[in-house]
Amino acid sequence: MESRVETRLFLWEEAHRLVSDEVIRQKLLDGAFDEARKLALEQIKGVSWRAQSWVFLGEACLRLGNGKIARRCFERAWLLDPMAPWVNAVMKACDEVSAGKRDREVESALRVPKTTVSALVLFRDDARTIKRCIEALRPAVDEIIAVDTGSTDGSDVIASAFGAQVYRFEWTGDFAAARNFGLSKVTSQWVIAIDSDEILYAEDVDAIRTIAGVFESVRKESPVILRIVQMNLTGETVTPATSQSRMFPTGEDIEWRGLIHETPTLTKETARPAVRALVRIRVYHDGYDPKHVDLEKKFRRNLELLTEALEREPNNPVYEFYIGRESLFLKDYTKSIEYLERAEQHAKEIAGFSLLPDIRRRLAQAYMLAGKNEHMANKLEDMVKEHPEYPDGWFLRGEKKLREAGVLLQEAAQDFAKAQEAAQKYRGITEYDTAIGLWKAPAQLGEIARMRGNLVEARRWYQRVLKQEPNLKTIRERLEKLEQEACAIAQDVQEATKNTKDE
């Protein structure tokens, strides 16, 4: 199995990696599991923050029959690769083998240095969520610094009552200034920023200190800025929508920048670029749930701050992108396209600008909603060509083709129906294919119904054809296959219903 972690790996990391991935992978394929275990441990000594190294070690331990320690290795890998697709299957496999013997070497590799972490929470009139936010954080961190930017609903009293150190900060329309004020109050080795409408997952309480410990060695050689997973809660639906740069070591040259959509930023150039790893610290966020938030008011407030920020920093593609995105949410497609096109142009002038795929994604969506289908098609081609690793480009292009296919199927059905009708009425002297009216058009209408998933309608068309021409082998085979598929679906439904009742 392969880890798909998005951590930016640099040459200096490769220099620390004592064993190559290819060597360990081959040992596993050859069944040399004890050797693979030893080599994975050697690799982890140099790069303990790489998810793939822990995947290798976990697989070796699992194959050696040590399910308990294998599970711990996979859990470490999952911390470092939160989007890993293998988690459920692998954890189940670990539970299905014996616990095995104790492995002190692996246990030693799993230990991390003790570190202290502060949570930094901004809030204003968040009495609805501030209690749950702080209660969830309390067992996960060493202190909670809560910055009140002007509450009048008693949020500050609630925050203080549940253990936060509350500081008042006069709101200046600058989120970065408020965060940096809070940062000045932090006394721990690491800080993680949490919004007051975000609730830490109970399963990730231990993750914050563990992750800080894992990356403690990295910070000695390169700046570290960690991204957490924001799980957007809308109604009953939870979606891992975005990763947010929120966690970093204190005492480094890192501060928050940006009037809005602020991000941790290096304050001076360093010999080595920052490691910006995505880690498994998940927070529920309902800040975009219309049940709790006036979204139009929120987006318009954002636009005011973004416009001011862009005036201070003209041609900044980050602010141009967010203005385009918020305008898209507000259905102002003309403005959205204008700013997204500007953002794309300026982003292309910056080598390795990370937001460029997302800029193009939003631009393609804006083109579609504005009815500029040719522009949308061209932008999607740019995405899959220049960002082949970015899933949204392929998905949006697939959606476009599916819509086109649906239109073509509808038009084809109309043509076949007209062909059948014309064949029944045609009395001209020019020779024509008489089978069109008898069975060819109905057979094609049945095929279209099948492609659309309407099995009942397809079956009726095929039966109608066979009634007219019972010796058509191809149509009979299609009908038999369709009926087999229908029976298989019915059987699956019965089994699923039975399993649900048993649960």
Domains of the chain: 11-110 (1.25.40.10), 117-285 (3.90.550.10), 295-389 (1.25.40.10), 425-502 (1.25.40)
Q: Which residue has the tokens 């142009």?
A: 345
Do residues 134 and 161 touch, judged by C-beta distance below 8 A?
A: no
Nearest residue to 379 (alpha-carbon basis) of 371, 391, 367, 390 = 367
Q: In what order do the strands lie in the sheet with 165-168?
A: 165-168, 143-148, 117-123, 190-195, 237-249, 226-234, 278-285, 198-200
CB atoms within 10 A of CB 474: 9
Do residues 317 and 350 touch, judged by C-beta distance below 8 A?
A: yes
Give the pLDDT of residue 9. 43
Spell out the residues 6+ positions from residue 450 whose beta carbon is closer than 8 angstroms to its own.
Answer: 458, 478, 482
Nearest residue to 134 (alpha-carbon basis) of 147, 121, 124 = 121
Give the pLDDT of residue 11. 43
For 81-187, strand residue ranges (E) read 117-123, 143-148, 165-168
Give the pLDDT of residue 4. 42
CA 493/CA 356 separation, integer angstroms: 44
The pLDDT tens digits of the residues spanning 32-89 come to 999 999 999 999 988 899 999 999 999 999 999 999 999 999 999 999 999 999 999 9
Spell out the residues 6+ positions from residue 109 whose beta carbon is closer than 8 angstroms to its own.
Answer: 41, 44, 45, 48, 57
Give the pLDDT of residue 30. 96
Give the pLDDT of residue 225. 95
Give the pLDDT of residue 184. 96
CB atoms within 10 A of CB 360: 24
Per-position b or e across 289-303, b if 16+ CB within 10 A of its CB: eeeeeeeeeebeebb
Nearest residue to 273 (alpha-carbon basis) of 223, 200, 338 = 223
In this prediction the pTM is: 0.82
pLDDT tens string, the chain, 503 residues long: the values are: 544 444 344 444 554 556 789 999 999 999 999 999 999 999 998 889 999 999 999 999 999 999 999 999 999 999 999 999 999 999 999 999 999 999 999 999 999 999 999 999 999 999 999 999 999 999 999 999 999 999 999 999 999 999 999 999 999 999 999 999 999 999 999 999 999 999 999 999 999 999 999 999 888 888 999 999 998 877 777 776 678 899 999 988 899 999 999 999 998 877 677 888 999 999 998 877 788 888 899 999 999 999 999 999 999 999 999 999 999 999 999 999 999 999 999 999 998 888 999 999 999 999 999 999 999 999 999 999 999 999 999 999 999 999 999 999 999 999 999 999 999 898 898 988 999 999 999 999 999 999 999 999 999 999 999 999 999 999 999 999 999 999 999 999 988 888 777 66
* Chain centroid to CA 252: 29
Nearest residue to 220 (alpha-carbon basis) of 288, 144, 271 = 271
Q: Which tokens is 266 given? A: 């290096």
Side chain identity at residue 130, one-letter code: I
Give the pLDDT of residue 17. 52
CA 491/CA 58 separation, integer angstroms: 37
Per-position b or e across 199-232, b if 16+ CB within 10 A of its CB: bbbeebbebbbbbbbbbbbbbeebbbbbbbbbbb
Q: Which tokens is 362 given? A: 């939003």
